[in-house]
Chains A and B, each alone.
Chain A
């Protein structure tokens, strides 16, 4: 028994040691999610979150590599070891904490409902009665919609990516979508978004489902890596890198309270 414990310990130590030398694979969602991360025509990923990954890794003196993974499989990919960390605008929730671990938050923004122009609706259960609401699969928004709106809306349609939900909103297949305010603001600035839709306001906060901001998702027990990410995030916040990265994207800071 003692021998086994010793073996496990060596394994853990080696793992820790390996993480230092090896590149850290940071998983992002393989879908356009502007302004946080989206692919450009030359095959690179660009956006605020991509810039932040670079800055945090540099601050924590880690070699990082960005790995695009399907959003609906991003947690299994982390636990199965295909990636070492998730930085894909993933909210820190109690539900997810049962499976994975999180670093400190690196942004926190409200959740809004965007719907078709000229259709009366308010961002609450009564105001959405009889409407078709689209959300992205396994997001806090899906959880929120299932909890608060399932009884009143006609249907909650679940999409693999937020981009597809937006696309169906433009096509008129759904009446409204619920998502992060920044991501939907970006959509409303596009030509199609401007033509079809408008913000219907922010939903009432429910920290139990909507979480406590966005953090880096990590495997349980990898405290060393977690400490590094926390230090990196603290450093970019402190030395102004965070604000420098944010300036081209946002009018005001999205770090939130």
Chain B
């Protein structure tokens, strides 16, 4: 089994892009993310941030740059390592 096949098993939803969450209680509106990944992070007025929690993989480099640049480290991007997704999310 190749590594990518392994990842596919572990991470069935990677094909749906990456997962991002910004802790807006930490965010102070420095807008560094909106500079570096303008398609995923947008300033709403001078200080308020809105973001795409599920940007497509084409934006991965920009989003990682944005997350690293956050002066208050408020941006969490899904770790690439395996995740136990509740595939069988049912009333079995």
The answer to whether A and B come from one shared complex is no
- B residues near A, CB below 8 A? none
- A residues near B, CB below 8 A? none
